[in-house]
Amino acid sequence: MNLTVKIGSRVLIKDINIDLSYDSICVLGYSGSGKSLLLKALEKSGVDGSFYYPSKKNAFVMEKEILSVASSCSWLFLDDVSLYFDGRERLNLFKKIMDSGCHLFYVSRDVEDILAFSYCYVLYQNMVGLEGLSHSIVLEEKVMKLIGYSLPFYVDLSLQLKYYGLLDNICYSKEELEKCLWPKS
């Protein structure tokens, strides 16, 4: 599905080709890049799924609502919830949604979120600057930095440790890094 997202005549995102064949998708972009408008354009296009836009409720109530919506649809299109949930809480929420059998399409401004998803689009200057499998995207260090993002913390740390010969693998979470650094005997 090809979309262009505009406000009036101003193009926010040009020709984004959304592929819903993945279990989970994250769209990463800075505030004002058109991520939320992309969700609204998808909603108007008639794509099959439910849409949830956070409101100023407490996180507990919002989580219950989100999980209720996710339990009754095949795709949940979720706007950025980083103002309401910290990183660990978001990852737990994503896991609960996906464990319910619902596919998740999420828009975010936090680079750490992309590791929870199968596929990712990174927005840059009104277009998709980078797209692909999430674990491959985070290895594109030079491109990510050119676009203006740092790598997720544990990926960056494990790359640095690998560079100095202290680690053999790239780790995507604290738990993975701990297992690599201090294996149980």
Cβ 105 vs Cβ 78: under 8 Å: yes
Q: What is the pTM of this model?
A: 0.88
Distance CA 80, CA 26 (A): 10
Q: What is the pLDDT of residue 99?
A: 95
Residues 37 and 85 occupy one common structural domain: yes
Q: Which residue has the tokens 């993002």?
A: 149
Residue ranges making up the domain that contains 172: 152-185
Token digits for 142? 């030079």
Residue 72 CB: number of other CB atoms within 10 A? 10
Helix axes 59-70, 87-99, angle to 10 degrees: 20
* Residues 170, 120 within the same domain: no
Residues 6+ apart with CB under 8 A from 56: none
- Report the pLDDT averaged over residues 23-28: 94
Q: How many CB atoms lie within 10 A of CB 68?
A: 12
Q: Could you tell me if 113 and 98 are in contact, meaning their C-beta atoms sit under 8 angstroms apart?
A: no
Q: Are residues 66 and 137 in the same domain?
A: yes
99 and 173 co-located in one domain: no
Angle at 87 (CA atoms; ends 122, 123), nearest 5 degrees: 10
> What one-letter code names the amino acid at 120?
C
How much is the pLDDT for 167? 92
Do 64 and 14 reside in the same domain of the chain? yes
Would you tell me how many other CB atoms lie within 10 Å of the CB of residue 139? Answer: 14
pLDDT, residue 185, reads 59
Question: Are the C-beta atoms of residues 48 and 18 closer than 8 Å to each other?
Answer: no
Q: Are residues 185 and 125 in the same domain?
A: no
In this structure, the answer to whether residues 94 and 172 fall within a common structural domain is no
Read off the pLDDT of residues 123-176 as tens digits, 9 standing for 90 and up: 888 788 899 999 999 888 889 988 889 999 999 999 999 999 999 999 998 999
